[in-house]
Structure 1
Amino acid sequence: MATTIVTIPPPAAAIELDNCRISAGSNIPPRDIRSHPLCAGDEENSALDGQPPEGMMIFERPNVSTVKGKLLGTNFSVFVSGMNDSSTGALIPYLQPGYNIGLLFVALVYLINFSGWLVAAFTNVHLTARLGMGGALTLGAAFQLSAYCLMFWKPPYPLFVFSFFLSGLGIAYQDAQANVFVANVNNSHRWLGILHAVYGAGALLGPLVATTIAARTTHWHYFYLVTLGFAAINLVLQAWTFRDGLFKGAAAAKESANRDLKKALSERTVIVLSLFFFLYVGTEVTTGGWVVEFLIRVRDGEPSKAGYVASGFWAGLTVGRLALADVTHRLGERRMVFIYIMLALIAQLIFWFVPNIIANAVMISLLGFFLGPFFPTGISVATKVLPRGLHVASIGFAATMGQAGSAAFPFLTGAIAANFGVKVLQPILVGLLAGMAIFWALIPRVARHSS
């Protein structure tokens, strides 16, 4: 790939990651930033706008050593999110008899969860402007904690379903802030890989704990006491690590929130990346959420054992995000994602057409392994092709809309499976993988944004 030479004008001011604002022409001495090559694999050198609009949020990449506490907080938040997202599928075999409902009513859980993500996608930038990054994280953690306070005592089903709106809303706010924060530290491609590997670790633990509790007791809903404890720790951790300026926004930020969101949504790359994430996270959670039911209904597996196969998928996802982060960065993100999609499709087809539970367990783990790098790679690419002044609005929106797929596609799968059986999982997954390839091809090749 040809190297493009760009000249980066000095920024008006250095901005801390606590959502401080910058005004064009601030009376601060500029730094000396010389012309340098901008390569496809170097998101640290993404182009800066010379004079960002007044009130627009931009970040200066801090050294990791200065934000270790905040990295810990954001990583822990996605760990708890991973436990939440992966456990629902493992509990479906127990949720149905527990409430005496069919698959369509189970799918409503995902639909209500989707509504929480959707609300967060359009309100995140406003919340961040008013409460700051730490405030948005802390409020999201509080919403998530309140959801588990409803879930653990097995309330009436309508209230149980409503709790998924609260968890979706809370996780969405945290996910958006965590991705924006980590995407703007030095060597972000590695830290994004770690962030999403930690999510995978939480997702690995979720089915293990949920299946163990549900299989060995008559109180499957006690699993949510475990997540309640983690959510309480998470709330304290977010409030503590982001305590400086907690719940303090900026006046200019409040005025520019609508403008930032509109400008982000006018970027074609934001829309394409959002759709890519929408399909990707939908694939991820649909696979982890419905594979247990598939193995029980179609492969005649035992519920007490099939739940652990889902953990194999999340284990593969975690390992993939750790092992493939640098490989993807060095060999070219665009090229490698296409290769991963092809390998994932092969693993998925073997899973579909080989009716053997052991082979299925191996293939589902490989599917997770090849899918693992997609989300952190997409966020890394976004930092290159989007102007830095739009990172909060654009990356926050894309990540949140992407995570909405974690509820939308499991719901659609459940709704279709209610009429045609859970065997529809396989063609749905193939279609999602093909759709990801299409949207990834539409993302710009050049690793910079021309303002």
Structure 2
Amino acid sequence: MRKLVWMACLAYLLAGFGHIIIGSVLEPMMDAYQLDYRDGGQLIMNQFLGFLVGVLFAPLVIKVLGRRLVLLLALALFAASQLSLFLMLPWNVLLAVIPLGGAGLGLTETVLAGLIIGKLKEKKASIMVLTEVFFGVGALAVPVLSALLIANGNWNMVFLVVGAAVMVSFCLWLFLRFDDYEPLLTKEAVAGADGNERPLKARYPKTSLPLVLFGSIFFFCYVGVEMTFPNYLPSILAMTSDLSPSVLALSITVFWGAMTIGRMIMVFVVGKINVATLFLLAVFGQLATLGLFAISPHYIISFIVIFFAGLLMGGIFSLGLLVVNEGLPGLEDRTTSLLIAMGGLGGALLPRLTGSLLDHYSVQITLLVIFAFALVMTALMFLIFHFRKRLFREVGKGGSERISEVG
């Protein structure tokens, strides 16, 4: 199993590269193409729309091809998008190709998450946490590489380096075999797994719909902010300071480095502090740090706030999944898919909105809008707690006591 786990970690490392790489070189890319931030936001949005399609269609493609072939297809699509970016193809061509790379990312993450959660019998939680840590390491490392290449005037080389790493992973998935776990990657094993379909046929009781609705909106906002904030950090700081492009790119590294640390810390504290309390602290921490960033008077303070924002936001996604799913027992698969899909939609649309704001309004307006989303998420958190507690009472669970202090 160890070999399979490390291959999954490598895939999530590459996914971390893919989600952040465009933002890490957005400034020099826009200069090279002589375009504005709205166009950059469109490119990021197209990638996340592709990601959303990959997430939604992954179960169907798995049934047709099997997990190994889906992973190979996903990695090939991702590598092709990186090659297109390296070659600096015409902008309209990039807008058409980038969604394919996003679909590759969506397929990769969905296939491996489903494999770990639905098929592995041991250490599911620890393996999922480990893959998330590798995702964070990827998101942390690629801006460092981008900063070095930007400083040398070869910013587009970052796409060639990442594309080569993706092809190495492609070859490993093609030739490696995983002993007892090999049947999990074949078409027959996946097509015959009835358990994957049963949760999707379940229906939400009417009393649970408010929790589903507010949870979905929360994830739409959160993933949108999580993707928008780091991707536009170099651009925002460029408007509020005189830092060099290579230093600006490091702002993304600070954010994702702190987010990775936050996720690692969560592994050790989640068993000692209940999930609802951790969720409350993380969401309030996000609100406070994004508010401080909006009014920061100096870039040094901004970098400090960026670090604490990443540290506190690192656990929101997984904690949110746990909080919402605890209120909907028996519907975990369907709920998780819905929340991830809504998150993907937010990650596609909010960068576009942010790019337009930067083009037409002052940077301060953009910062206030990001803070407003954090404020909305705080309100949604309390609504989630309220309807979650009500569902606990209706089903006669004692779990309502666990959130009595924060609900």
| Superposed displacement of residue 439, structure 1 | 3.5
Structure 2: distance between partners of 1:383 and 1:125: 20
Is the counterpart of residue 180 in structure 1 residue 180 in structure 2?
A: no
From 21, 35, 38, the equivalent of 1:104 is: 38
Partner of 2:259: 317
Instruction: Return closer, same or farther for 1:143/1:439 CA change in 2, 3 Å cut-off.
Output: farther
1:286·1:406 contact (CA, 8 Å) conserved in 2?
yes
Q: Secondary structure at the match of 2:144?
A: helix
1:437 aligns with 2:378: yes
Residue-by-residue CA offset, 1:201-229 (whole Å, 9 max, x unaligned): 10011111112112212x32111011101
2:283 is matched by which residue type in structure 1?
A: I
Matched, 1:280 2:188: no
Aligned counterpart in structure 1 of residue 59 of structure 2, from 86, 111, 125: 125
Query: Do residues 308 (structure 1) and 308 (structure 2) align?
Result: no
Q: In structure 2, what residue type is equivalent to 1:224?
A: F
Q: What is the aligned partner in structure 2 of residue 148 from structure 1?
A: 82
Structure 2: how far apart are the matches of 1:381 and 1:72?
Answer: 28
Percentage of matched positions with identical amino acids: 20
- Asked whether the equivalents of residues 320 and 372 of structure 1 are also in contact (C-alpha less than 8 Å), the reply is yes
Among candidates 158, 161, 177, match of residue 226 of structure 1: 161
User: Are the equivalent residues in 1 in contact too, given 2:85–2:94 (CA < 8 A)?
Assistant: yes
The equivalent of 2:187 in structure 1 is 248
Give the 3 Å change call, closer, same or farther, for CA 356–165 of structure 1 in structure 2.
Answer: same
8 A Cα contact 1:147 1:163, kept in partner: yes
Report how many aligned residue pairs link the two structures.
382
Q: Paired residue for 2:134, among 175, 186, 198?
A: 198
Where 1:220 maps in the other structure, the secondary structure is coil
Give 1:262 shift: 5.8
Q: What amino acid maps onto 2:374 in structure 1?
A: L
Q: 2:351 aligns with which of 395, 404, 410?
A: 410
* Unmatched tracts of structure 2, length 5 or more: 396-407
C-alpha offsets along residues 381-426 of structure 1, whole Å, 9 cap, x if unaligned? Answer: 46645556x5555434432432343332111100222111433332
What is the alpha-carbon distance in structure 1 between the residues aligned to residue 165 and residue 57 of structure 2? 26
C-alpha change, 1:263 and 1:109, in structure 2 (3 Å) is: farther
Q: Does structure 1 conserve the Cα–Cα contact (< 8 Å) formed by 2:13 and 2:138? A: yes
1:357 and 2:299 aligned: yes
Contact 1:277 1:399 in 2 (8 A): yes
DSSP 3-state at the match of 2:290: helix
Indicate the SS of the match to 2:223: helix
Q: Compute the RMSD of aligned alpha carbons.
A: 3.0
- 2:185 aligns to what SS in structure 1? coil
- Asked if the contact 2:286–2:309 (Cα under 8 Å) also holds between the matched residues in 1, the reply is yes
SS of match in other structure, 1:236? helix
1:280·1:436 contact (CA, 8 Å) conserved in 2?
A: yes
Corresponding letter in the other structure for 1:350: L
User: What pairs with 1:40-51 in structure 2 (closer than 5 Å)?
Assistant: none
Is residue 73–residue 104 contact of structure 2 (8 Å, CA) maintained in 1?
yes
Change (3 A) 1:215 1:423: farther
Cα distance in 1 for partners of 2:292, 2:241 equals 14
Matched with 1:78 is 12
Q: Kindly provide the CA deviation profile for residues 296-345 of structure 1, in whole angstroms up to 9, marking residues without a partner as x.
A: 11233221211112210110000000012331342111121111111222
Distance (Å, rounded) in 1 between the aligned partners of 2:365 and 2:4:
42
- Say whether the 8 Å CA contact 1:176–1:395 is kept in structure 2: no
* 2:270 pairs with 1:328: yes
Contact 1:384–1:449 under 8 Å retained in 2: no
Structure 1, unmatched stretches of 5+, are 1-66
Cα gap change, 1:214/1:418 in structure 2, threshold over 3 Å: closer, same or farther? same
Contact 2:66 2:191 in 1 (8 A): no
Separation (CA, whole Å) in 2 of partners of 1:245 and 1:126 = 16
> Measured at CA, do residues 233 and 343 of structure 1 come closer, stay the same or move farther in structure 2, by a change above 3 Å?
same
Mark the CA change 1:181 to 1:340 in structure 2 (over 3 Å): closer, same or farther.
same
Contact 1:298 1:423 in 2 (8 A): no
Whole-angstrom CA distance in 2 between matches of 1:331 and 1:147: 42
* TM-fit CA distance, 1:253: 5.8
Give the Cα–Cα distance (whole angstroms) in 2 for the partners of residues 95 and 245 of structure 1. 41
| 8 Å contact from structure 2 (residues 22, 44) kept in 1 | no
More helix by share: 2
Q: Distance in 2 between matches of 1:273 and 1:176?
A: 20
Question: In 1, are the aligned partners of 2:325 and 2:335 still within 8 Å (CA)?
Answer: no
